[in-house]
Amino acid sequence: MKYIKDKNFLRFLIPSMIGAFLFVTPINQGGNLTIPIAVFANALLDMMGDASTVIICGLISISAITTLVHKFVGIKFIKNNPKLDNLFSPSPFWFGVRMTGFVFAIMFLTGFGPEIIMSGATGGTVIYDLMPILVCVFLLAGLLLSLLLNYGLLDFFGALLIKLMRPVFNLPGRSALDCVASWLGDGSIGVLLTSKQYEDGFYSKREATVIATTFSAVSITFSLVVISEVGLEHMFLPFYGVVSLAGIVAAIIVPKLPPLSKVPDTYYTEKSHREDIPEGKTAFQYGMELALDKAEKAPSVKEFLAEGLGNVVEMWFGTLPVILAMGTIALIIAEYTPVFKILGMPFIPLYNLLGVPEAAAASQTVIVGFADMFLPSVIASGFASEMTKFVVAATSVTQLIYMSEIGSIIMGSKIPVSLKDLFIIYIERTLVTLPVIAVFAHFLF
């Protein structure tokens, strides 16, 4: 083939194959389907061991102290670097969130703080169970995402998938790879990938927001954990089939509703990269043309490392304080107040209408999933009805947006979405996917 003779072919092929292997190639690890980057993240987590809390609190403290000094005194080398200046000059709201995360971090570092924050059901869950693996994922994904982004792989597959993603979801073809990375690995990887694509002008505001809130799917591995929590692991295949179908229905319907439908198709950068196949060319030809052009402009090893380290700094110092602050606050509300129980009461008639047993109990799980996706299944594990357990577990996975991880990562990124909009999208996803799940549950039970 003529493309193989192109001097840029190997510059496209080798890094892209490494990136594809790391981020979207399914492998079997201990009987679970995962991706290599997740395996490496877990290995790094094991190496950190008990030091993980100190590392997390140290990173959040550096972020907060640097922000404080830069805000009130000014740090010259940060001011001269636009990316660092933006990172350490947050708006008043995000400054408050970062400082809140810092206060929580000091509490966990010293071991002194109120039980409402330190409890294993609130802040303890976030800092001991969630954040250690995220620190590792952020490090590896930040360093290595360039293999997907800068050597032509996304451009090639994006062109191949335009004819599927544009008519069905009104999204660029490359968004399909965001979904695969989430599905096989972790939703946080999908959000990070989406955010970088948005910053580089490949996604508009609307596209980035839709992809982050719709295609950053819950991984297969964590879905197995959820269904196992309610004692129905023997039904994993029909469970994940129903979850996938309900997710596709939500991906088609929810972006057509406000607030997603009202997000403008404007771009973060002045130069956009909208994908359209030119007349007279096949998707493959256009994809190879884009890929080889991208490979020609690919970064050197030094530039690759510099960009990767910049990504890691941004994720660690910008996102970790947000996750600790907002994740802890969301779980405090779920654990110590009746807010989510009260908000779930309007769903009782819907559960009754759909013929789901234990409707009143099930309704309590609807909104609590906004705090953490695992909480609904923990509550449902005590239900008597297997059908209700199935419905609650499947709904919690398809709701997708939960503040202890994905929601906080989205809000800590450049993707332009507010907390209010995230909650509205969460409710819309619930209303769209719940009937689909309930209908299939009646066939299964």
Q: 375-430: per-residue pLDDT in tens?
A: 888 788 878 999 999 999 999 999 988 887 788 888 878 888 998 999 999 999 99
Close Cβ partners of 49 (under 8 Å, ≥ 6 residues apart): none
281-324 residue pLDDT tens = 888 888 888 888 888 888 888 999 988 898 889 889 988 898 89
Tokens of 319: 């996102």
Question: Strands 32-34 and 27-29: what pairing?
Answer: antiparallel
Domain edges within the chain? 1-445
Residue 371 pLDDT: 82
Residue 326 pLDDT: 84
pTM to 2 decimal places = 0.76
* Maximum mean pLDDT: which of 50-59, 236-245, 334-343: 50-59
Residue 2 pLDDT: 63
99-120 residue pLDDT tens = 999 999 999 999 999 999 999 8
- Tokens 């609807």 -> residue: 366
With a pLDDT cut of 90, the percent of the chain lying above it is 32
Residue 1 pLDDT: 58
Mean pLDDT of the chain: 86
* Listed range (27-36, 124-133, 425-434) with the worst mean pLDDT: 27-36
Tokens of 346: 């309007």
* Maximum mean pLDDT: which of 4-13, 62-71, 274-283: 62-71
Residue 183 pLDDT: 65
What does 337-387 look like in DSSP terms, one character per residue?
-SHHHHHHGGGHHHHHHTT-SSHHHHHHHHHHTTT-TTHHHHHHTT-S-HH
Widest distance between CA atoms in the chain: 68
pLDDT beyond 90 at 443: yes
Tokens of 18: 């490494």
**Taking a C-beta distance cutoff of 8 angstroms, is the pair 141, 413 a contact?**
no
pLDDT beyond 70 at 191: yes
What's the rounded mean pLDDT across residues 244-269?
Answer: 92
Task: Supply φ then ψ for residue 52, to 5 degrees.
Answer: -60, -40
328-351 residue pLDDT tens = 888 898 889 888 888 889 999 999
Give me the amino acid identity at 445. F
* Maximum mean pLDDT: which of 46-55, 146-155, 168-177: 46-55
pLDDT bin (cut points 50, 70, 90) of residue 173 is confident
pLDDT beyond 80 at 94: yes
Residue 104 pLDDT: 96
Helix, strand, or coil (residue 101) = helix
What's the rounded mean pLDDT across residues 356-368?
Answer: 90
pLDDT beyond 60 at 185: no
